[in-house]
Amino acid sequence: MEPQGRGVSESPRIEWAEGGLQRDARWRSEAAVPPPRRVQVVDDTLPADTAYRLASEGTGLLWRSDFQNARQLLQAMARRADRKPRKPPPPPSSPAEAFHLHRQAQGQRSRVLGKVLVELEGDYRIALPRAPDLRAACAQAWGPPDGRPSVASLRELLGLVGAFEWRRKGVAIPALGAAPGNRIHPHYGVFSPVRGEYLDLIAAAPLPSRELAFDIGTGTGVIAALLARRGVQRVVATDQDPRALACARENFARLGLQDRVELLEADLFPPGRAPLVVCNPPWLPARPSSPLEHAIYDEGSRMLRGFLAGLANHLAPQGEGWLILSDLAEHLGLRTREELAGWITAARLRVVARDDMRPSHPKVQDASDPLHAARAREVTSLWRLGHGVTQQ
């Protein structure tokens, strides 16, 4: 059982002994990692090897000296985590095994590095020498402070800072037009279109209609915005995640599209039919290891299959459903092309056309990436689907 709040709140608590006193505080983890059961109060006299060993054993290291030295310790621990083992393990027997081993190793790495902990004051200030002011970044990700101290992993805090910067600067989306303001500002925890090449497929495909479109699982709102910019008069965009809805709303307002795009909290489709229904589901069928991975991994292809199964009921008679999907899952042995084709047929749909492109992001070139062989063959497609022959 995780230690829970004592009537103060439902959030998990972390407990530790310090200066002869028993202390506790709210535990913050957006990745839903439970608080460590053992916590040691540490400072910059702790050697990196010892820190790495303790963290590998599951001990939380509550940092009580210079903030920048804690960052350095984290880097030193990361180098240890990334060291090649002296005796290399046998090569994986299949791409699917390589994928699962890779995720396992990533999970283990983040569990260990997540053990360096920092206490935040009730207003998100960090009372350590040379600590930056992270109040705005914390408030953006976690909501306004509640006046009570809390503890979080340093790694998560640094992630919040990165997300804060992305949100402030935004991501340039060339498909939205050349003007400098054509940027999408992703919120913390919302799928970011940094690898936005698939948007070029959406920008180039012939529109079946300019009257109405649905964008299923809108995330930052980027696809809905792109369709509106291409001249679609009305777009209805859905998502289930409140952070995505807030993010998309802000992006539509920033781009001056708020009157043409309607946002709806919905499981997949809004009511009714549209001549164009677009969806970019997570591309890999695997279990998300934290709530933050829900936009990357789609366990059992739930969203993909739900979109395909419901599409015919939400598509106008001559309409097109546009499915954005990479075939990386096929190269990793997690899904077959036959399965996908079977779901399309079973949903009484037919493939009108398919536009393909090869991703050009740096990972494709990285031969040291354990998934390199699969990534090097990856193709991203826009599947244009229409009503198929009604089965008797």
Which spans of this chain sit near ligand SAM (rule: CB under 6 A)?
191, 193, 217-220, 222-223, 238-241, 244, 267-268, 280-282, 295, 303
Nearer to ligand SAM, 239 or 378 (CB): 239
The CA distances from residue 237 to 170, 174, 240, 271, in Å, are 20, 21, 11, 11
- If the CB atoms of residues 267 and 366 are measured against ligand SAM, the closer one turns out to be 267
Q: Quick one: which of 127, 143, 246, 136 has its CA closest to 187?
A: 246
74 or 284, CB closer to ligand SAM?
A: 284
CB of 182 to ligand SAM, least distance (A): 15
Minimum gap (Å) between residue 281 Cβ and ligand SAM:
6
Facing residues of 237 across strands?
Answer: 215, 263
Opening angle at CA 27, ends 26 and 29, nearest 5? 140
> Toward ligand SAM, which CB reaches closer, 70 or 347?
347
CB within 8 A of 369, min separation 6: which ones?
363, 375
- State in angstroms the smallest separation of the CB of 275 from ligand SAM: 19
Half-sphere exposure of 385 (CA within 13 A, CB side): 31
Instruction: Give 101 or 172: the residue with its C-beta nearer to ligand SAM.
Output: 172
The nearer residue to ligand SAM, 31 or 48, going by C-beta atoms, is 31
Q: What is the 8-class DSSP label of residue 366?
A: -
Structure tokens given for 382: 């826009």
Residue 341 beta carbon to ligand SAM: minimum distance, rounded to whole angstroms: 22
> Which of the 8 DSSP states describes residue 126?
-
Q: Minimal distance in Å, beta carbon 380 to ligand SAM?
A: 11
In angstroms, the CA 321 to CA 208 distance is: 10
Count other Cβ atoms within 10 Å, centred on residue 138. Answer: 25
Distance set, CA 262 to CA 77, 250, 272, 378 (Å): 47, 12, 14, 34
Shortest Å, Cβ 186 to ligand SAM = 9
Q: In the complex, what is the shortest distance from the CB of residue 217 to ligand SAM, in angstroms, rounded to a whole number?
A: 2
Q: CB-wise, 64 or 254, nearer to ligand SAM?
A: 254
Handedness of CA 304, 308, 310, 314 (dihedral sign): positive
